[in-house]
Chain A
Amino acid sequence: MTAVEAMSTGVVGGVLEMEPAVEIKKLNKWYGKLHVLKDVDLTVGTGEQIVICGPSGSGKSTLIRCVNQLEEHQQGEIRVNGREVGPGVRAMHEIRRNVGMVFQHFNLFPHLTVLRNCTLALTRAKRLPRGEAEDIARHYLARVKIPEKADAIQASSQAGNASAWPSHALYACIHGSCCSMSRLPLSTPR
């Protein structure tokens, strides 16, 4: 098992500005006895796009899940937009509102339409009026070329092409830093 260790970051696209969006110092994380993250240092600038890759089980998801504290870390420091996150930090939900995340299995809300999947956090967490939230969502749905899916219920029966539109749909509500866990389909060049 290889753990993600002391990764360096590179600018893939976008502009690197001074203010770091995510700053990680000497991060250590254990699952019981399993030492998953060892002394990880990572700085991601605002506007910077990075890719973290590694073999399965190397801790990529764990690292991302630490950034919005779906997992608690044991040692080290994580800052998101300058604010420290970690176990015991109050009002984590305020920090999470500015961190977007696409889950490895999407975890979309199956009882809601695609549009409502996109607007739920905008209206309930970011407190935007419904109309404004829907405009934003429709704008992004159009950008990912699925505006006509807005009123469809996100159906799990479409697992066949699950990666096709729901992930994009959810991406539409991402406004802050974005973490996406996805397995790029190797067979279909993109």
Chain B
Amino acid sequence: MTFDFAFALSVLPTILAAVGTTIWVAIASCLGAALLGFVLEILRRSGRLLGYAMRFVIDFIRSTPVLVQIYFLYFVLPFYGVTLPAYAVGVLALSVYYSGYLAEVFKAGIDTISAGQFEAATALGLKHFDTIIFVIAPQMLRNIAAPMGNYFVSILKATPYLAVIAVPEMLGAAMEVSSDTFRYAEPMLIVGVVFLILAVSIAQLVRQLENKLLASEKR
């Protein structure tokens, strides 16, 4: 199979039209996964029973394949009367799946904060919620910007899974082109290159964020 440049150019607009969906699904999933992961981790640290329950939930989420979770939410939720649009199921599935991993990252980030920080917040009479938001979360973010960025890239690269439930993201669009024309090299190469560009951009953004957070420490 030879690479047909003219053909590649002709299908480029169709595929690029789906980039928007890929990007916003990825961003929504990153936010969802980070928020849910943080909540799971905070709950895991709370009282005994709830803590154990959350440990189980987090391990469970991490040890089931993401495709299984996607299919499960897509086909099983309607059975219980919850019918969501495909993209909502997609964002929900990626958020849930990666929240398990991000919870572990957050755990590492919180573990490195010295016990004195919790004590200082307690001594000042701050409530638990305020301690988490104003004292713990910012210091945690500074500790884990890099590994969190890695998972954001993973989330981006997991968006093609959503093709299986017909979310109109980039891989889905490319597959459609391919099955119409029986040419795979060009569409797949385009998809690969666009993902590469997006992934590098995320990595760059995260590096800048990290530098900013660390710079504020040194000032």
- A-to-B contact residues, CB < 8 Å: 68, 70, 93-99, 101, 103, 105, 107-111, 120-121, 124-126, 152-153, 155, 157, 173
Contacts and interface: CB of A to CB of B under 8 A. Distances in A.
B130 interface: yes
B120 A109 contact: yes
Q: Which 3 residue pairs across A and B have the least CB separation, nearest first?
A: A97-B125, A96-B125, A107-B116
A58 to B, nearest CB: 21
Contacts of A98: 125
B116 to A, nearest CB: 4
Task: Specify the main secondary structure of chain A where it touches its partner.
Answer: loop
Contact of A124 (B117, B130, B142): B130
B125 A155 contact: no
Contacts of B142: 111
Contacts, number: 69
Interface of B: 114, 116-117, 119-120, 122-127, 130, 134-135, 138-139, 142, 216-219
Contacts of A173: 124
Given A107-B117, A120-B134, A125-B130, A70 B122 contact: yes
B126 A110 contact: no
Contact of B125 (A94, A109, A152): A94
Nearest to A70: B119
12 contacts: A70-B123, A95-B125, A99-B125, A103-B120, A103-B123, A107-B116, A107-B119, A110-B217, A120-B124, A124-B134, A125-B127, A125-B130
